[in-house]
Chain A
Amino acid sequence: MLEINGLSASYGNVQVLWDVCLRVDEGEFVALVGANGAGKTTLLNAVSGVMKPGSGSVTFMGHRIDGSAPNAIVNLGLSHIPESRQVFTEMSVRENLEMGAYPSRAWKSRRETMKKVFGLFPRLEERAGQLARSLSGGEQQMLALGRGLMSLPKMCMIDEPSNGLAPLIVTEIFEILKSLHKEGITILLVEQNVRQTLAIADRAYVLENGHNALDGACCDLAESEHVRKAYLGH
């Protein structure tokens, strides 16, 4: 479904990604893990069109999307749920969700989609009229996820949903990710919380200093000497 080949990217003169390759098949739950600064967020930004990759190719459902504008990419059904939530703080919860349904094909059915999102996150329905600014961190993350679903995506790229949240809420968010996957949405999850991520994903890629370091089935990676020492702390 998503195929990244030999992708390089830089900020000005600082190269962040070197020849990164990654593949996500339809229906898979794939994780991308690595330390802070490994280039995970840059990779997502390069795929969703927020930044232009230097070289390499990105293909989504048979379309070349490297160099396309973000609005064209989300129109194809690839939703990028950005790091640190980025909800529109001065808009209500309902308006935030409506913004998620901005692509024309999603706009028409936004009311039905919103009902489904409210089914998934009842807390958002209770707070539909409130400004997003007034939500707690966990609620804002739910809003960011719900908003990402409003565009009726076939695949979601989710950047660090556990960032800055209490452990109990992280577990709740991970349960939600699992149920989204069960409903047929393909997921690429970027995380620093390696332990919990390897427990729910099918396959994972490990990114180190902008290079592919390791990849494979999560159960194998969790057993690997390198991953255990560097990321699991035992």
Chain B
Amino acid sequence: MIAFRDIFITGLLLGGIFALVSVGLTLQYGVARVLNVAHGEFIMVGAFMTFWLLGSANLNPLLSVAITGPVAFIMGFILHKTLFRRLMDTSPSLDIFEGKSLLASFGLLYVVQNLARIIWGSDVEGYNFLNSTVTAAQIPLNRLVALAFVVVLGGAFYFFLARTRLGKAIRASAQSPTTAELMGVDIRNVLAICFGLGLGLAAIAGSLLSTLFAIQTSIGLGYTVIAMVVVVMGGLGSITGAMIGGIILGLVSSTVTFFHPSLTMIAYYVIFIVLLLARPKGIMGK
């Protein structure tokens, strides 16, 4: 019973983090049309920034998201305004832009990963954070706190997309960029904001992951793959789909890891294939 409870809590937490990462990728691919294979690198950057802020300024890892998120947002905004905007302006069609931006993001992956390796090295790093257990339940406190954090953040982001003027502009741009422009939306800014928000969510997820697991400068690509699986599973471009897909994959991950850790990656792909056979366009796809 206790094992099931732990599997469930860990699964929800991982799922919530996967959901943040995948919503980030959905904003980049579904709205800004950049299939960003460097997405996971910013998870790594967020994790190492948190690790570094704890070591140098003794900043609480949970509070550090107030720095890692905005810093990654600004990096994404600038990257889109410079690199991807230029590619967009020189591409005759969106399909050609998608190809070009995929290549550019591969380049970004190597640059970011190797810069991180120069700064932080390639060793496994880690720290202890709230490692005590909640006595009655024997659940590590850091997991509960991180879970609450993910739920609040996910809720706040959902509210932002559903209710605010900018959030609505983002959803409208995801459906039809040209029509959104006719409504008066400055599409250039909205796309850069979406790309920045994507990286910001990745970095925040990285900060939270560093409170739970050991980190290394090479962890990025694994998370990029998970995010891509979730985005396709949820239905390309669907933010709700990415959230649901992330939580499903998190629960699968914690269950399989409990019984046989080396089968986790295989389980991801089995679930992925089964879901796509049942719903070829994804959970929320149309």
The 8 closest A-B pairs by CB, nearest first: A103-B184, A70-B181, A102-B184, A74-B184, A86-B179, A71-B184, A102-B183, A71-B186
Indicate whether A175 reaches chain B with its CB closer than 8 angstroms: no
B181 touches A88 (CB 8 A): no
6 A–B pairs (Cβ distance < 8 Å), ordered by A: A71-B187, A91-B168, A91-B171, A99-B180, A102-B169, A102-B183
Give a binary string over B187-216; 1 marks a CB under 8 Å from any A CB, 0 the rest.
110000000000000000000000000000
Contact A88 B176 (CB under 8 A): yes
Expressed in whole angstroms, the Cα–Cα distance for A89 and B171 within the complex equals 11
- Distance between Cα atoms of A71 and B188 in the complex (Å): 10
Task: Answer whether residue B178 sits at the interface, using C-beta atoms and an 8 A cutoff.
Answer: yes
Known: A99-B169, A102-B165. Contact between A86 and B176, CB under 8 A? yes
Q: In the complex the two chains form, is B182's CB within 8 Å of A88's CB? A: no
Interface string of A80-95 (1 = CB under 8 A from B): 1010001011110001
A70 x B182 contact (CB < 8 A):
yes
By secondary structure, the B interface counts as: helix
A82: B residues at CB distance < 8 A: 178-179, 182
Q: Please tell me if the beta carbons of B182 and A50 are within 8 angstroms of each other in the complex.
A: yes
Instruction: Please tell me if B155 contacts chain A, counting CB pairs below 8 Å.
Output: no
B175 at the interface (CB under 8 A from A): yes
Binary flags per residue of A35-68, CB closer than 8 Å to B gives 1, else 0: 0000000000000111000000000000000000
CA distance A79 to B184 in the complex (A): 9
Docked-complex contact A50 and B165, CB < 8 angstroms? no
Residue A98 CB within 8 A of the other chain: yes
In whole angstroms, how far apart are the Cα atoms of A71 and B183 in the complex?
7
Known interface pairs A99-B168, A102-B165; A90-B181 also in contact (CB < 8 Å): no
Give the Cβ gap from A84 to chain B, nearest Cβ, in Å. Answer: 10
The proximity string for A residues 107-149 relative to B, scoring 1 for CB distances below 8 Å and 0 otherwise, is: 1000000000000000000000000000000000000000100
Q: Please name the residue on chain B nearest to A75 by beta carbon.
A: B184
> Contact: A99 with B175, CB < 8 Å?
no
Tell whether A186 is near chain B: CB-to-CB under 8 Å.
no
B181 and A95: CB pair below 8 A? Answer: no
Q: Name the B residues within 8 Å of A69 (CB-CB).
A: 181, 186, 188
Q: Are B182 and A80 in contact, CB atoms less than 8 angstroms apart?
A: yes
Among B169, B179, B184, the most chain A Cβ lie within 10 Å of the Cβ of B184
Contact residues in B for A103 (Cβ distance below 8 Å) = 184
Q: How large is the interface on B (under 10, 10 to 19, 20 to 34, 35 or more residues)?
A: 10 to 19
Given contacts A88-B172, A88-B175, contact A151 B165 (CB under 8 A): no
The answer for the CA separation of A100 and B178 in the assembled complex, in Å, is 13
Encode A7-25 as 1/0 by CB contact (under 8 A) with B.
0000010000000000000
Closest to B92 in A: A12
Q: How far is the CB of B283 from chain A (nearest CB, A)?
A: 15
In the complex, A98 Cα to B92 Cα: how many Å? 32
In the complex formed, the residue of A with least CB distance to B284 is A90
Contact A151-B171, Cβ < 8 Å, known A86-B176, A88-B176, A102-B165: no
* Interface members, chain A 170-205 (any B CB < 8 Å): none
Residue of A with least CB distance to B188:
A69
The answer to whether B182 touches A48, judged by C-beta atoms less than 8 angstroms apart, is yes
- Chain A nearest CB from B242 CB (Å) reads 15
How close is B218's CB to chain A, nearest CB, in angstroms?
Answer: 38
B88 interfacial by beta-carbon distance below 8 Å: no
Q: Which residue from chain A places its CB closest to the CB of B180 in the assembled complex?
A: A99
With A49-B181, A89-B175 already in contact, 7 other A-B pairs whose C-beta atoms are closer than 8 Å: A12-B92, A48-B182, A69-B181, A69-B186, A86-B178, A99-B180, A102-B185
Residue interface mask A149-185, B partner, CB < 8 A = 1: 0010000000000000000000000000000000000
Which chain B residues in 88-108 approach chain A with CB under 8 Å?
Answer: 92
C-alpha gap A71/B185 in the complex (Å): 6
Chain B residue numbers with a CB within 8 Å of A106 are: 184
